[in-house]
């Protein structure tokens, strides 16, 4: 299983994202995609009212989500912070998401909140450095089998 992309969404915008492998053929506007993901997640939670949605599964990929709250400097109440990962579709996805992906997404949220709680979250360029934290948290989960083998022999 390969994690292809990870990121954090706040108020419908991407705060930070790291792509490890392409998931689309063309270029997609990051803000448009973030708004769509946020809207889909909010719709699913409202329509089905079963709590939080853990993932959406398509023909090729699965998008796993973790909902958290973060306090921005321009708000009195904590607001929704969504951590997501795009992974390859596979059998037994429930087990993989709950045992591997979700704990990693919780680590992302925890680390991000430690570094940025109470700050101005509207200037997203300040979060570029957080991509290094994403690399550390996800590690080899972002590598394909051939990339892992290359690391063993060279």
pLDDT band at 120 (very low <50, low <70, confident <90, very high): very high
Residues 33 and 41: beta-carbon distance below 8 Å = no
Give the pLDDT score at 149: 47
101 is in which domain, residue-wise?
3-153
Total number of domains constituting the chain? 1
Reported as a single tens digit per residue, the pLDDT across 46-78 is 777 656 678 888 888 898 988 899 999 988 999
The DSSP code for 71 is -
pLDDT in the model for residue 107: 94
Question: In this structure, what DSSP letter does residue 98 have?
Answer: I
pTM, to two decimals = 0.81
Residues facing residue 5 across a β-bridge: 19, 86
Q: What is the CATH number of the domain that holds 35?
A: 3.30.450.70
State in Å, rounded, how far the first CA of the chain is from the last one. 22
């Amino acid at each position: 299983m390969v994690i292809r992309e990870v990121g954090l969404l706040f108020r419908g915008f991407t705060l930070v994202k790291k792509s490890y492998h392409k998931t689309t053929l063309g270029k997609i506007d990051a803000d448009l995609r973030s708004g769509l993901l946020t809207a889909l997640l909010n719709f699913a939670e409202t329509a089905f009212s079963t709590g939080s949605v853990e993932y959406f599964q398509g023909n090729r990929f699965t998008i796993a989500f973790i909902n958290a709250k973060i306090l921005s400097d321009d708000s009195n109440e904590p607001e929704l912070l969504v951590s997501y990962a795009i992974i390859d579709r596979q059998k037994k996805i429930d087990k993989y998401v709950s045992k591997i992906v979700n704990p990693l997404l919780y680590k992302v949220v925890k680390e991000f909140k430690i570094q940025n709680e109470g700050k101005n979250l509207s200037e997203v360029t300040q979060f570029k450095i957080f991509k290094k934290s994403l690399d550390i948290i996800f590690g080899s989960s972002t590598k394909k089998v051939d990339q892992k083998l290359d690391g063993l022999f060279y």
